[in-house]
Amino acid sequence: MNHKTKSLRYYLIQGEKIKNNMLKNYYIRLISLILLIATCCSVFGQVLLKLIELTSDYYKFLIILTPLILVFTRYSNNYLKTNNIGMKYFIEAATTKKEKVTWTFPFILTLNTLLAHGSGVSVGREGVAVQLGGAIGGNLAADDFSKEKKQFFVKLGMICGFAGLFQTPLAAVVFILEVVSEKFKFSLRKFSEYVTYVVGAYISTFVSHKLGLEKFFVDVDISKVNIDIVFILKLILIGVIFVFVGILFVVLQRKIKELVGFNSKISWFLLGIFIIVSIIFEYRYASLGTNLIGLSFMNVEQIKIYDFILKIILTALCTGIGFSGGEVTPLFAIGATCGVILGTWLGLPILVTAALGYCLVFSAATKTYIAPIFLALEVFGYKLMFFAVIPAILIYLINKRYSIYK
Helices then strands, counting H and E runs in the chain, come out as 18, 0
Contact 41, 167 (CB under 8 A): no
Cα–Cα distance, 211 to 43 (Å, whole number) = 8
- Looking at the fold, whether 204 and 256 belong to one and the same domain comes out as no
**Residue 154 lies inside a defined structural domain of this protein:** yes
Specify the amino acid at residue 233. L
Which of 310, 314, 308, 381 shows the shortest CA–CA distance to 343? 308
Specify the amino acid at residue 103. W
Angle at alpha carbon of residue 22, lines to 20 and 28, rounded to 5°: 100
Neighbours of 69 (CB within 10 A): 21
Helix ranges (H only) for 211-282 are 229-262, 266-280
| Summary mean pLDDT of the chain | 86
**Residue 12 lies inside a defined structural domain of this protein:** no
Cα–Cα distance, 337 to 342 (Å, whole number) = 9
- Looking at the fold, whether 264 and 117 belong to one and the same domain comes out as no
Contact 47, 219 (CB under 8 A): no
The mean pLDDT of 328-344, rounded to a whole number, is 94
The mean pLDDT of 196-207, rounded to a whole number, is 94
- Looking at the fold, whether 187 and 236 belong to one and the same domain comes out as no
Contact 96, 150 (CB under 8 A): no
- Looking at the fold, whether 191 and 237 belong to one and the same domain comes out as no
Cα–Cα distance, 330 to 309 (Å, whole number) = 12
Contact 356, 332 (CB under 8 A): no
The mean pLDDT of 297-321, rounded to a whole number, is 93
* Phi-psi label, residue 325: left if phi above 0, alpha if psi -120 to 50, beta otherwise: left
- Looking at the fold, whether 251 and 124 belong to one and the same domain comes out as no
Cα–Cα distance, 56 to 275 (Å, whole number) = 15
Q: Residues 315, 63, 161, 91: is their CA dihedral positive or negative?
A: positive
Write out the residue range of the structural domain in which residue 284 sits. 229-398
Contact 323, 73 (CB under 8 A): yes
**Residue 340 lies inside a defined structural domain of this protein:** yes
- pLDDT tens track for 220-240: 878 777 888 998 999 999 999
In this predicted structure, what is the pLDDT of residue 9? Answer: 56
Cα–Cα distance, 90 to 36 (Å, whole number) = 18
- Looking at the fold, whether 266 and 345 belong to one and the same domain comes out as yes
**Residue 218 lies inside a defined structural domain of this protein:** no
> Residue 310's pLDDT band (boundaries 50, 70, 90)?
very high
- Looking at the fold, whether 84 and 171 belong to one and the same domain comes out as yes
* Phi-psi label, residue 212: left if phi above 0, alpha if psi -120 to 50, beta otherwise: left
Q: Which of 182, 210, 238 is the last residue of a domain?
A: 210
**Residue 221 lies inside a defined structural domain of this protein:** no
Cα–Cα distance, 344 to 301 (Å, whole number) = 10
In this predicted structure, what is the pLDDT of residue 188? Answer: 65
- Looking at the fold, whether 63 and 172 belong to one and the same domain comes out as yes
The mean pLDDT of 53-61, rounded to a whole number, is 90
- Looking at the fold, whether 135 and 241 belong to one and the same domain comes out as no
If you compute the radius of gyration of the chain from its CA atoms, what whole number of angstroms results? 23
> Residue 96's pLDDT band (boundaries 50, 70, 90)?
confident
Cα–Cα distance, 140 to 132 (Å, whole number) = 12
Cα–Cα distance, 325 to 312 (Å, whole number) = 15
**Residue 224 lies inside a defined structural domain of this protein:** no
Domain count, the chain: 2
> Residue 31's pLDDT band (boundaries 50, 70, 90)?
confident
Specify the amino acid at residue 37. I
Contact 370, 178 (CB under 8 A): yes
In this predicted structure, what is the pLDDT of residue 21? Answer: 57
Contact 246, 260 (CB under 8 A): no
Neighbours of 172 (CB within 10 A): 33
How much of the chain is in helix, strand and coil states, percent to nearest 5?
75, 0, 25
**Residue 2 lies inside a defined structural domain of this protein:** no
Higher pLDDT, 257 or 12: 257
Which CATH number characterizes residue 117's domain? 1.10.3080.10
In this predicted structure, what is the pLDDT of residue 382? Answer: 86
- Looking at the fold, whether 195 and 324 belong to one and the same domain comes out as no
Cα–Cα distance, 176 to 155 (Å, whole number) = 7
> Residue 186's pLDDT band (boundaries 50, 70, 90)?
low
- Looking at the fold, whether 163 and 54 belong to one and the same domain comes out as yes
- Looking at the fold, whether 198 and 294 belong to one and the same domain comes out as no
